[in-house]
């Protein structure tokens, strides 16, 4: 057997407790410590670099570029109003001075670049080059981890990952970053160009008004519901509302914490009891009416929805018109008791309008109707993606938003039902208009990865790893890429199974001739939704699957995991002789490439790098299953655990 079945190379590690695992009676798994950017004190990380101060070279450049003739023009203009100067001389003097200013501008504009190069201001010190190289290396790793997470996500599995890789690769970013560092950052006084914030003021004022109405409504309802109780009177002054809005929105706290802020500051309630409200538990003693608690939870949920849509727009993952439509939908159902999401109002964006259908029947206008239909469904698909993202975010913090456990469960069921409804509409659009689905998902995925890169750069700037000038240059370029994605409306075709297979790491490491051999041995298979995925061919030969379309669900040990396009199933069984899960089931209609063990073994013998990649994948998959049921990993979720495991590999597995 290959010795790598018992030993894997790994970075710094620690020992978790052992556990039983069926046939593997006991084994030792070594996992890496948390390695975030905040805790990265390794030797490879460069020391924080302080910003440089101006020296004589900078002063000389500023003096040269400041010779624009502004003083001479001011003096010439002052001669016109001087009574001692004849009017016949004032005009010629101003004219000649203006010509001199224009010549100075031309000369300075032509010579500034040469002067910058002559003074050596375009050169970067070796320390700063090392810092930028380190930052770009970190960005490359983070981009790969973010792409790996998104490839397993059920919303983004059918994106064209070849285009996503092209849109998010860092090759052009490196060149542009160094160009910015050499010249543009020295001459550009402003910071990074911000994202288009069309309608920003409207969103902020809308949120403030909504919070103001929420507070007043809740106070009135509380007073009406508990009129015969301990409440003497209810008051809420405008100054208190302004102070509350300033605290909630200027600090970018969520609007759903408005009630907690009210309780902390005792702004709303004047109680007969001598002791004031000091915590939320004492406040909720008055909320014993179930209908009132449910209505209160509904309003908190609606505020959380608006915050989620606004955050998606601010990050660039949701377009302005889509965010505006979703927030307008929430504002429309705030006053309608019992409505949490307003799915009925959004369904018109997921169905073909009548006028487009009629236009399609007119001869000669079919192409125009088809283009209008594509634009309509693209907008509807973007709205659906934003809604599903919001539902996922809220479902994770539902119990933190709503303290009553029973009400939180009711709300959580409503969230899941609404998400399932929207997911069905997404699937219908994907089946009827696959080009629209692939285009929107690809753009959505690319924006998500670029947003993650921007957050990583900002984090490195915050902790002092990356100086502010270099960080602003990198953020500026990333935001330009995000804007280009927003403006780019080209249609993207779905990737072919061969494209997906050739994007995998172990395939990329193979020479071109071996890649062609692999494609010849790979057999495309189809599994219907609900059927089990076979890990052996019809002849009985073992092998593994590479998912190219659809979602597979792995079940075993009381837990389950999902595998999307670009992932492998059954590799641990082939390499390690046992698999940690019990069965693999097709969650949707599934298309895979089946690679037999004989072909894989021969290719691994010819390509050492491919073999190392496959052993790495098998080790990390086995470790995920081994740690999946152990605390605290069993409460992390698949994406977080996978990212944790990707920072290291299994060192040793001992079979007894």
Per-residue pLDDT tens over the stretch 466-484: 888 778 878 888 877 777 7
For residue range 363-390, list pLDDT tens digits in order. 777 777 777 777 777 777 778 888 888 8
**What's the pLDDT score for residue 392?**
80
Q: What is the mean pLDDT of residues 228-242?
A: 36
When pLDDT is cut at 50, 70 and 90, the band that residue 574 belongs to is confident
In 464-562, which ranges are continuous DSSP H helix?
468-487, 497-502, 505-508, 512-521
Binned at pLDDT 50, 70 and 90, residue 154 comes out as low
pLDDT reading at 549 higher than 60: yes
559 lies in some domain:
yes
Closest to 506 (Cα-Cα) out of 591, 617, 598, 606 = 617
Domain end point (choices 64, 91, 119): 119
Indicate if 287 and 417 belong to the same structural domain: yes
Question: For residue 652, what pLDDT band results from cuts at 50, 70 and 90?
Answer: low
Same structural domain, 512 and 638: yes
pLDDT of residue 70: 66
**Residue 446, pLDDT above cutoff 60:** yes
In angstroms, the CA 597 to CA 577 distance is 12
CB-based burial label for 52 (10 Å; 0-12, 13-18, 19+) = exposed
Average pLDDT over residues 225-246: 38
pLDDT band at 313 (very low <50, low <70, confident <90, very high): confident
- The span from the CA of 584 to the CA of 565, in Å, is 15
Residue 411 lies in a domain: yes
Confidence at residue 20, expressed as pLDDT on a 0 to 100 scale = 35
How many domains are contained in the chain?
3
pTM for the model stands at: 0.50
239 domain-assigned: yes
Asked whether residue 521 falls in the same domain as residue 634, the answer is: yes
Could you tell me if residue 186 is inside a domain?
no
80, part of any domain: yes
More confident residue, 23 or 246: 246
Strands 583-586 and 568-569, bridge-based pairing: unpaired
The string of pLDDT tens digits covering residues 30-55 is 333 333 333 344 444 444 444 456 67
CA 132 remoteness from chain centre: 23
What is the average pLDDT across 547-566?
74
Residues 418, 323 share a domain: yes
Q: Could you tell me the CATH number of the domain that includes residue 519?
A: 2.60.120.10
Is residue 302 located within the same domain as residue 424?
yes
pLDDT of residue 540: 61
Statement to judge: residues 344 and 428 lie in one domain = yes
157 pLDDT exceeds 70? no
* % of the chain surpassing 90 pLDDT: 0
Q: pLDDT grade, residue 426 (50/70/90)?
A: confident
Instruction: Return the SS3 of 244.
Output: helix
State the sign of the Cα–Cα–Cα–Cα dihedral 445, 451, 454, 460.
negative
Pairing mode of beta strands 559-563, 590-596: unpaired
Is residue 458 predicted with pLDDT exceeding 60? Answer: yes
193, part of any domain:
no
* pLDDT over threshold 80, residue 161: no
- Of 209, 407, 377, the closest CA to residue 293 belongs to 407
Q: Quick check: 86 pLDDT over 60?
A: yes
Q: Are residues 427 and 555 in the same domain?
A: no
User: If you average pLDDT over residues 571-579, what whole number do you get?
Assistant: 78
Average pLDDT over residues 416-426: 80
Average pLDDT, the chain: 67
Of 119, 152, 168, the residue at which a domain comes to its end is: 119
Residue 135 lies in a domain: no
Quick one: average pLDDT of 172-194?
A: 40
Asked if residue 377 and residue 235 are part of one domain, the reply reads yes
State residue 408's pLDDT score: 79
What is the residue range of 284's domain? 200-432
pLDDT at 5: 42
User: Where among 374, 400, 432 does a domain terminate?
Assistant: 432
Higher pLDDT among residues 246 and 382, named by residue: 382
Question: Region 485-509: what's the mean pLDDT?
Answer: 74
Give pLDDT, residue 165: 72
> Does residue 412 sit in the same domain as residue 509?
no
Q: Are residues 322 and 427 in the same domain?
A: yes
**What is the pLDDT averaged over residues 403-419?**
80
Q: Are 223 and 306 within one domain?
A: yes
In a domain, residue 16? The reply is no
Mean pLDDT, rounded, for 178-200: 36
Shared-domain flag, residues 384 and 513? no
pLDDT beyond 50 at 28:
no
């Amino acid at each position: 057997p290959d010795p790598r079945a018992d030993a894997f190379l790994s970075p710094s590690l620690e020992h978790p407790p052992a556990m039983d695992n069926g046939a593997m009676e006991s084994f030792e798994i070594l996992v890496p410590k948390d390695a975030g950017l905040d805790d990265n004190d390794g030797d490879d990380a460069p020391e924080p670099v302080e910003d440089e101060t101006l020296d004589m070279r900078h002063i000389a450049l500023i003096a040269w570029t400041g010779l624009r003739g502004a003083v001479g023009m001011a003096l010439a203009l002052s001669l016109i109003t001087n009574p001692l100067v004849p009017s016949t001389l004032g005009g010629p003097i101003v004219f000649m001075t203006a010509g001199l200013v224009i010549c100075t501008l031309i000369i300075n504009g032509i010579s500034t670049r040469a002067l910058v190069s002559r003074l050596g201001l375009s050169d970067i010190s070796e320390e700063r080059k090392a810092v930028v190289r380190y930052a770009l290396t970190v960005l490359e790793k983070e981009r790969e981890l973010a792409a790996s997470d998104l490839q397993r996500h059920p919303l983004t599995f059918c994106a064209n990952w070849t285009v996503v890789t092209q849109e998010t690769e860092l090759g052009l970013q490196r060149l542009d970053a160094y160009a910015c560092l050499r010249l543009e950052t020295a001459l550009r006084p402003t910071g990074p160009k911000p994202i288009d914030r069309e309608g920003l003021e409207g969103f902020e004022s809308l949120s403030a008004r909504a919070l103001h109405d929420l507070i007043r409504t809740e106070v009135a309802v509380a007073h009406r519901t508990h009129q015969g109780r301990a409440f003497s009177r209810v008051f809420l002054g405008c100054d208190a509302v302004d102070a509350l809005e300033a605290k909630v929105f200027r600090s970018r706290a969520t609007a759903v914490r408005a009630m907690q802020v009210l309780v902390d500051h005792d702004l709303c309630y004047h109680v007969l009891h001598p002791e004031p409200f000091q915590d939320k538990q004492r406040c909720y003693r008055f909320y014993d009416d179930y209908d009132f608690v449910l209505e209160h939870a509904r309003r908190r949920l609606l505020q959380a929805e608006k915050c989620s849509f606004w955050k998606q727009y601010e990050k660039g993952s949701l377009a302005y018109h889509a965010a505006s439509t979703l927030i307008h939908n929430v504002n429309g159902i705030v006053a309608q008791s019992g409505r949490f999401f307003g799915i009925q109002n959004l369904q018109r964006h997921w169905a073909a309008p009548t006028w487009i259908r009629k236009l399609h029947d007119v001869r000669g206008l079919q192409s125009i109707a088809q283009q209008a239909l594509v634009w309509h469904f693209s907008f509807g698909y973007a709205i659906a993606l934003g809604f599903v993202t919001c539902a996922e975010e809220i479902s994770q913090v539902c119990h933190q938003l709503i303290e009553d456990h029973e009400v939180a469960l009711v709300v959580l069921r409503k969230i899941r039902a609404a998400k399932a409804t929207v997911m069905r509409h997404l699937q219908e659009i994907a089946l009827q208009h696959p080009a629209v689905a692939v285009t929107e998902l690809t753009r959505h995925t690319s924006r998500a990865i670029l947003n993650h890169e921007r957050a990583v750069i900002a984090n490195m700037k915050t902790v002092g790893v990356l100086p502010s000038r270099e960080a602003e240059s990198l953020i500026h370029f990333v935001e330009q890429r995000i804007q280009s994605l927003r403006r780019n409306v080209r249609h993207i075709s779905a990737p072919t199974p061969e494209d997906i297979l050739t994007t995998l790491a172990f395939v990329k490491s193979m020479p071109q001739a071996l890649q062609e051999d692999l494609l010849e041995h790979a057999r495309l298979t189809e599994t219907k939704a609900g059927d089990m995925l076979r890990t052996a061919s019809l002849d009985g030969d073992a092998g593994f699957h590479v998912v190219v379309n659809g979602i597979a669900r792995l079940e075993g040990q009381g837990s389950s995991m999902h595998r999307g396009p670009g992932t492998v199933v059954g590799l641990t069984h082939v390499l390690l002789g046992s698999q940690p899960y019990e069965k693999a089931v097709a969650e949707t209609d599934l298309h895979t490439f089946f690679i037999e063990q004989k072909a894989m073994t021969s290719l691994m013998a010819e390509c050492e790098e491919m073999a190392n990649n496959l052993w790495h994948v098998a080790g990390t998959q086995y470790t995920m299953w081994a740690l999946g049921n152990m605390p605290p990993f069993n409460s992390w979720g698949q994406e977080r655990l996978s990212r944790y495991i990707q920072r290291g590999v299994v060192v040793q597995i001992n079979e007894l």
